[in-house]
Amino acid sequence: MSPPPSRRWPAEWETHDATWLGWPHHRSDWPRKFETIPWVFAEIVRVLHRYERVEILCDSEEVRSDAVDCLVAHGVDLSLCRLHVVPTDRVWLRDSGPTGVHGLRGLEWIRWAFNGWAKYDNFQKDELVSQAIAELSDHSSLSALRPDNTVRMVLEGGGIETDGAGTMLVTEEWLLSDVQVRNPGLSAAGYERAFADYLGITHTIWLGEGAVGDDTHGHVDGVARFVDPNTVVLSYEPDPADDNHRRTSDNLNRLRLAALNFRGGLNVVTVPFPQPVTMEGERLPASYANFYVANGVVLVPTFNDVNDRTALTTLADLFPGRDVVGIHAVDLVLGLGSIHCLTQQQPTAMNPKG
């Protein structure tokens, strides 16, 4: 019998000590819309800080001052938030930040290498965000290496999803397709070994592709999320004429196949996509699956769409012990990300389950 993993990556719905996010400052991420974005972030903080502490990284003292003004204007109690001056290139801390796991000595941060999604040249500040969060939170951290122990392993938090009980969801598009350029030559078996070593993962479900418009090469947090140890919410597009139909039908089939041998069974609950959100002819990765689960609350992106109500109602049924709050994300998603992409949870420090 194999020994139990030395680490356990807790599910997002388990208790947090805090939520980390960065304050927006990179104007070109939201062309002609940047002025609205700090107010969206302020609304996210306004909701979150009622349930758990919010830790905010600010690129400079000027950005910190602007953030304070915006938060105060939005009715945020600053005694429940901490603002830190930490240089950042962008604010998608789900991807640039570390992953919190329960280790033998409590909370441990796993620090992945970050290469700007293999799309941008300016990621050097973001590459240091994981270390900054570990130091500011006063918890130990570990730099993740490839299985051959030669170089750091490139990974983003938006591409990995867990049930907290040893199962992970990822997509082949993100890590195994021809378009991925994160860890050249690393096989599915190599990734699974790293997932086991650093996250305590014992079973990986490989989905196919992410959502249309996702410039991360198919992060799973735009299409499929665990909501309890035996339930996955899947974004599904029933219209054969929509480009997401083929992708999501394949993912549905893969989950149904995985359910045949899943411990205790695996329920798959589908939610629709909103109608396509575009900017200058470019389809944006608008998806209700990019929700964030915090202590007592679930923040869900909404798009002034008829399907908003369906998504909110479905998630409210799946999280009966939490408030479900919609956050207007039409402007936010212009930055090619949404609520889950910009948040990173700090799990409560505790010993792993036996």
Q: Supply the DSSP string of 243-306, one letter for each residue.
A: HHHHHHHHHHHHHHHHHTT-TT--EEEEEPPPSPPEETTEEP---TT--EEETTEEEEEE-S-T
In a domain, 9, yes or no: no
For 331, the token pair is 């402007």
Q: Lowest-pLDDT range, 192-196, 214-218, 232-236, 313-317?
A: 214-218
Compute the average pLDDT of residues 327-347. 97
Q: Lowest-pLDDT range, 148-157, 242-251, 306-315?
A: 148-157
Cβ atoms within 10 Å, residue 73: 11
Coil, strand or helix at 6 = coil
In a domain, 8, yes or no: no
In a domain, 4, yes or no: no
In a domain, 43, yes or no: yes
Q: Output Rg (C-alpha) for the chain, integer angstroms.
A: 19
What pLDDT score does 336 carry? 95
Q: Has this prediction a pTM greater than 0.75? A: yes
The count of domains in the chain is 1
Compute the average pLDDT of residues 53-79. 98
In a domain, 179, yes or no: yes
pLDDT confidence band for 4 (50 / 70 / 90): low
Q: Which residues contact 73 (CB under 8 A, 6 or more apart)?
A: 42
In a domain, 354, yes or no: no
**Do the Cβ atoms of 297 and 322 come closer than 8 Å?**
yes
For 152, the token pair is 């750091």
Residue 85, pLDDT above cutoff 60: yes
Residue 2, pLDDT above cutoff 80: no
Q: Which residues of 52-67 are buried (b: 16+ CB within 10 A; e: fewer)?
A: bbbbbbbbeeebbebb
Cβ burial of 75 (10 Å; 0-12, 13-18, 19+) is exposed
In a domain, 11, yes or no: no
pLDDT confidence band for 105 (50 / 70 / 90): confident
The active-site residue out of 58, 70, 81, 341 is: 341
Q: What is the pLDDT of residues 253-275, one digit of tens each?
A: 999 999 999 999 999 999 999 99
- Give one word for 19, left, alpha or beta, with left for phi > 0 and alpha for psi -120 to 50: beta
What pLDDT score does 353 carry? 42
Q: Which residues contact 327 (CB under 8 A, 6 or more apart)?
A: 40, 43, 44, 47, 299, 300, 301, 302, 339
Q: Distance between CA 46 and CA 57 in Å, rounded? A: 16
Which domain range does residue 159 map to?
A: 16-347
Residue 1, pLDDT above cutoff 70: no
In a domain, 196, yes or no: yes
Question: What is the domain-level CATH number for residue 132?
Answer: 3.75.10.10
Q: State yes or no: is 341 an active-site residue.
A: yes
Compute the average pLDDT of residues 153-175. 97
Cβ burial of 310 (10 Å; 0-12, 13-18, 19+) is middle
Percent of the chain past pLDDT 70, that is, above it, reads: 97
